[in-house]
Structure 1
Amino acid sequence: MDQPAETPTRDLLAHVLVPVAHEADARVTARALEPYDPDRVTALHVVEKGEGVPDKTPVEQSEELAADAFAAVREVFPDADDHVAYGRNVAKSIFAAADEVDASAIAYRAREGGRLARFLSGDLTLKLVTQADRPVVALPQTDGGED
Structure 2
Amino acid sequence: MTALTSRILLPVANEEDATRTCKALVEHLSEEAETTDVIAVHVIEKAGGAPDKAPLAAREEQAERIFGIVKQYSSILDYTLETRLVYGTDVLESIRDLAVEEDVTSILFVPRPDGRLTRLLTGDLSAKLVLESPVPVISLPQPTAVEE
Normalising by structure 2, what TM-score?
0.84
How far off is 1:50 after superposition? 1.6
The amino acid that maps onto 1:82 is T
* Matching of residues 131-142 of structure 1 within 5 Å: 131-142=132-143
Q: 1:76 maps to which residue?
A: 73
How far off is 1:142 after superposition? 2.2
How far off is 1:76 after superposition? 1.4
The amino acid that maps onto 2:12 is V
* One of 38, 44, 53 as aligned partner of 1:47: 44
**Structure 1 stretches (4+) deviating beyond 2 angstroms?**
119-122
Secondary structure of the 1:112 match is coil
Provide, for residues 92-117 of structure 1, a one-character-per-residue CA deviation record: whole Å limited to 9, x for no partner. 11101112222111001100112231
Provide, for residues 58-110 of structure 1, a one-character-per-residue CA deviation record: whole Å limited to 9, x for no partner. 21111111111111011111441100111121111110111222211100110
Bigger helix fraction:
2
Mark the runs of 5 or more structure 1 residues left unpaired by the alignment: 1-8
Q: 1:14 maps to which residue?
A: 6
RMSD between aligned residues:
1.5
The amino acid that maps onto 2:16 is A
* One of 16, 30, 50 as aligned partner of 2:22: 30
Q: 1:4 maps to which residue?
A: none
Provide, for residues 1-21 of structure 1, a one-character-per-residue CA deviation record: whole Å limited to 9, x for no partner. xxxxxxxx2210011111001
Q: 1:110 maps to which residue?
A: 111
